[in-house]
């Protein structure tokens, strides 16, 4: 079944992408949840027109995002955490704490759902987080976890 995505769906595609999925997944989940519509001629024509109109808006937005990335490159992100005697963190560092640290250090607001971690952060050290700003713009952020 060919469908047009109305929203970004993890591990499937981005908004306005035409993708092929199994019939049950499309009919029982994606379409009822308003994540997608059936890819027929009329819907494809509508989506093409909307994507042409939004292309200009996206170019302006990408310029703003690139300015935010320049701020991230210039700043050093540190996250404070309570630790025990063996330098293990009580709990772990999450994407929520990373988003707050980015906003505090640079003033750039990043949606916590756009941040993904490669591993669980349970000790002090330097780590990398992947930030998915846009389907064409991804950024690897290095940050340091220090003791409070």
Domain ranges of the chain: 2-61, 66-147
Q: What is the mean pLDDT of residues 75-103?
A: 89
Distance in angstroms (rounded) separating the CA atoms of residues 15 and 35: 9
**Is the pTM of the predicted complex or chain greater than 0.75?**
no
**In residues, how long is the chain?**
148
List the structure tokens of 42: 């009329």
Class of domain 66-147: alpha beta
The counts of H helices and E strands in the chain are: 3, 9
Q: What is the mean pLDDT of residues 67-71?
A: 81
Measured CA distances, 78 to 48, 89, 95, 98, 112 (Å):
43, 14, 13, 9, 16
User: Is a pLDDT exceeding 80 seen at residue 135?
Assistant: no
User: Selecting from 1.20.120.1760, 3.30.565.10, 3.90.1150.10, 3.40.5.10, what CATH number does the domain 2-61 have?
Assistant: 3.40.5.10
């Amino acid at each position: 079944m060919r469908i047009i995505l109305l929203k970004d769906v993890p591990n499937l595609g981005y908004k306005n992408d035409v993708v092929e999925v199994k019939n049950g997944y499309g009919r029982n989940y994606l379409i009822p949840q308003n994540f997608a519509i059936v890819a027929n001629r009329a819907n494809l024509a509508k989506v093409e027109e909307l994507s042409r109109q939004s292309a200009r808006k996206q170019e302006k937005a990408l310029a703003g995002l690139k300015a935010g990335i320049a701020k991230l490159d210039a700043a050093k992100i540190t996250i404070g955490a309570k630790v025990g005697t063996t330098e293990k963190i009580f709990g772990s560092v999450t994407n929520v704490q990373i988003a707050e640290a980015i906003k505090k250090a640079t003033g750039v607001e990043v949606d916590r759902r756009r941040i993904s971690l490669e591993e669980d952060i349970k000790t002090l050290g330097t780590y990398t987080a992947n930030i998915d700003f846009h389907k064409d713009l991804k950024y690897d952020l290095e940050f340091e976890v220090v003791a409070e």
